Amino acid sequence: MNLKRCLALGGTLVAAVVLLASCGASSASKGPTEITLWDFLSGGDGVRWTQILDKFNSDQTALHVTHTTLTWGDPFYTKVHTAVVAGETPDVMTYHLSHFPAGIIAGDLRPFTQDELNKAGLPLSDFNPILVKQSLAISQAYGIANDVYGVPLDTHTSVLYYNKDLLKKAGLLGPDGTPQGITGVANFTAALEKIKRSTDAQFAMVMSTANDPATVWRMWYTLFSQQGGTLASGGKVTLDQVPTLGTTALQTMVDWTTKGLIPANFQYPAAVALFLSGKAAFMFNGNWEVPTVVDAKANGKLTFDYGVAAFPQLFDNQDTWADSHNLAIPANTKHKISKKQFNNVMTLINYIEKHADIWAGGGHLPAYLPVLNGPALASMVPNNEYTPQAAKDVTLEPVSPVFGVGDPAYDAVGNFLTPALTGQLTVQDAISKFQAQLQSLGS
């Protein structure tokens, strides 16, 4: 409201002053446009995620993002679906690439057209082509060609953390300070046995096995994939390789537990703690534990030299389990996102992608190529030790609602593969029952 209008309404000088203040207050009270965001990021992830969002809020005044962190996994996706049904969704959310098939079938995701991405300055050509290929394959499997259901943020994958002091004592540390003699399953197993014989390590390699089907799945799927195994095609479950390649993968893991090379019944926190205490030469875990190790070293709680490597090639290739965090928009059909708010969300996504070097501090591999291949990542330790190889040699979750975060394959892993590691089931029985449950889920 202009000054003349305010004075005309006021009638007197006093009233004009009051109304002028009111007019000014009304104008000034119009703050930034709010963007609501749901995520499932906690721990080291959450710290760095919050840093990016806080930086976004401080770097400009037109927009402000408010984020809510919910429980990772099935609870998150159940909450999203409930919100979509109720028409009470956030503007944007984090989402696993592996959960896209289930989310698409449930009607929870609004697709992005390539034209929308181009206009936002985020063409698909600017992202890791492995992730783009998988995203397009998911879209095509469920009837929408050329569109994608999320903007890739990263690749997160399993890596091999190693204790240089123990490897040196076992004669397995090369002159460049990296593990040597661990390529090929026979050599890798022999290296684990040598560590057990020649060091005081409690385990040659530690990994979470108890009450954690996710980690067991990641190891089994890595060994299965390195033999060329596949579990889905065109969105359909295909299990014909499970009795052969799947048996070899599980037998390899059981051999390690039977020989006491890896724990048969160890929970996630205990596995991480054992490695940090210097009682394991290797740790099989996700790159999201990089900040845990980095912080422990910086705080003087890590008494040995460490490194992080891409998981080695044990069979025919070096494919290693991976997934990807994406930024997605809920399919709120009751209250569709406006064009203006959509553009605001794309402004936020653009900002997050271009500041993904902060996100990489959590161990993840940025999906946005200018950051992945940029100078910040090239000099970031220990990320630069594993990033170049790990970003290429990934095998993403099978394209099916049976697999992925919050999806039912984890139940089959916990019911049958994990008991094989503890000797409760034979490998043959475990694989047979595992395949039967997957078949029932995929039919």
Nearest by Cα to 185 from 249, 232, 234: 249
Flag whether 14 is in a domain: no
Q: Please, what sign has the CA dihedral across residues 56, 297, 321, 391? A: positive
103 domain residue, yes or no:
yes
- The rounded distance, in Å, linking the Cα atoms of 430 and 443 is 20
pLDDT of residue 407: 87
Residue 400 belongs to a domain: no
User: What is the average per-residue pLDDT within 92-102?
Assistant: 97
Residues 7, 293: Cα–Cα separation, whole Å:
66
pLDDT tens by residue, 160-171: 999 999 999 999
Residues 214 and 286 reside in one and the same domain? yes
Q: What is the pTM of this model?
A: 0.91
CA angle, residues 425, 426, 428, in degrees to nearest 5: 125
At 181-191, the pLDDT tens digits run: 999 999 999 99
Asked whether residue 178 falls in the same domain as residue 278, the answer is: yes
Does one domain contain both 116 and 64? yes
Residues 227, 162 share a domain: yes
Question: What mean pLDDT is predicted for residues 198-219?
Answer: 96
Domain count for the chain: 2
In terms of domains, do 237 and 278 share one? yes
* In-domain check, residue 25: no
Structure tokens at 37: 């965001």
Maximum CA extent, the chain: 95
Residue 24 in this model has a pLDDT that exceeds 50: no
- The residue with tokens 């039977």 is 258
Residue 13 lies in a domain: no
Q: What is the Cα–Cα distance from 369 to 273, expressed in whole angstroms?
A: 34
Cα 420 to Cα 429: distance, rounded to the nearest angstrom:
9
pLDDT in tens, 239-286: 999 999 999 999 999 999 999 999 999 999 999 999 999 999 999 999
Assess whether pLDDT exceeds 80 at residue 202.
yes
Distances, alpha carbon 220 to alpha carbons 150, 225, 226, 235, 321, in Å: 27, 8, 10, 21, 9
**Residue 280 and residue 347 share a domain:** no
Other C-beta atoms within 10 Å of 53: how many? 21
Bridge partners of 36, per DSSP, are 66
230 with 242, same domain? yes
